[in-house]
Homo-oligomer: A and B are copies of this chain.
């Protein structure tokens, strides 16, 4: 029988005295019973998360909430300096800078891992090599490898992997990540360090969270970090000084005619 109402949402419905989220009573079944992270996973998955999913997600969210005065936190503070009337505008401006270059690489790395794991075990090594070589031909970086600050080894990487293993992860995606690293070393003739995006991609997929959720986790963690920066900005203003330093660094010069 045809669906009489093909377009609908299964997330949330509210009546005057009840708010239902994915079939549960928000007030009586969720509030006070779930942590933020458990609720976030329940919202995404539509079922109670496993302890492993919760532990890995908490570790990922804690890991990437904060990385200091990166472009997105500087942009958030500068936006608040110009528009102190709009707190949400400053947060939004900060999140707009969480794109492909810094944090968004994790979701693309997760896609590579998925393609490797989709192959039978015997073909995964050659799939990893094929993926790296294809990116190299297009002169694109391999998402998840190399970092401007942590040039040697990003200390967050082994910690996230350790947590995933400690939670009993099957290790399939971690193995795929190792294949990817080996393929890079073979193709480039030298190893490149994994950055935190690669580790996030692997442990999120170990936790069987959808690859698409990676960007969402990162944005939510960074949202919390930006909130902390704005609180510090209100207590110890730094945006004006950062702006003036940026302006001094890039002086105006009239174009030569």
Contacts and interface: CB of A to CB of B under 8 A. Distances in A.
Copies of this chain in its oligomeric complex? 4
Contact of A90 (B96, B98, B212): B96
A213 B227 contact: yes
Contacts of A159: 27-28, 31-32
Nearest to A30: B62
A223 interface: yes
Contacts of A244: 249
A58 interface: yes
Contacts of A247: 68-69, 74
Nearest to A217: B227
A40 B66 CA distance: 10
Contact of A27 (B156, B212, B251): B156
Nearest to A65: B39
Given A74-B78, A82-B97, A159-B31, A89 B89 contact: yes
A96 B226 CA distance: 15
A226 B112 CA distance: 26
Given A28-B159, A34-B62, A88-B89, A8 B252 contact: yes
A59 interface: yes
A98 B69 contact: no
Nearest to A102: B82
A52 interface: no
Interface residue range, chain A: 35 or more
Contacts of A91: 95, 216, 219
A35 to B, nearest CB: 5
B10 A36 contact: no
Pick the most buried of A63, A91, A245, A250: most chain B CB atoms within 10 A of its CB. A250
Contacts of A227: 40, 44, 213, 216-217, 219-220
Contacts of A35: 35-37, 58, 62
